[in-house]
Amino acid sequence: MSETSKSKPGKLVVISGPSGAGKTTITSQLVTDPKVHISVSATTRKPREGEIDGRQYHFISRKQFEKQVAEGGFIEHAEVFGNLYGTPRKPVERALREGTICLLEIDVQGALQIMDQYPDATYIFVEPPGFDELSKRLDTRETETPDQKAARLEAAPRETALRERYSHHVVNDDLDQAIKEIRDIIFADK
């Protein structure tokens, strides 16, 4: 480990919010900066069209996931809409040791678990300008069944009610502006 990484620890940034708020679109722009490392979560859900194992998620079986939970392999994990999701511990710890900005795009349940372990991290809640817009966005991406969409819309008010636990809130009503706001937050003290 170099002196630079010892003197400049990394920064953990957690981005979460309701399904359809634009988290994935925003983070895909943030990681174009070489100083930003995105942690790839593991999930038991099936890949969506165009998703590549190891890029968007590590797609693993429920048995593999449960084994990693038992071994302490995740810094957070949760069951969301019938699928398991978790953040692998080793890549996050490595990124922080190396002095990079480690970005986690995770659901609210996972963010709450991380708040206990990393109270000094930067927590950003991304929300749409309203629930009607959220519904339109879920329709546009066409990745959920009607039942899945209904479950996501039902969860959104509960998730949004927890936004006060986050250090920053960004309303994604203009994508470019939301990306700029989040970039400014991330690099404010780095």
What is the number of structural domains in the chain? Answer: 1
Beta bridge partners of 123: 14
pLDDT tens for 112-158 read 999 989 999 999 999 987 777 766 767 677 677 778 777 777 878 88
- Within the chain, which residues score under 50 in pLDDT? 1-7
Give the CATH number of the domain where residue 129 resides. 3.40.50.300
Range of the domain at 63: 3-187
Give the per-residue pLDDT at 2.
41
Give the per-residue pLDDT at 190.
52
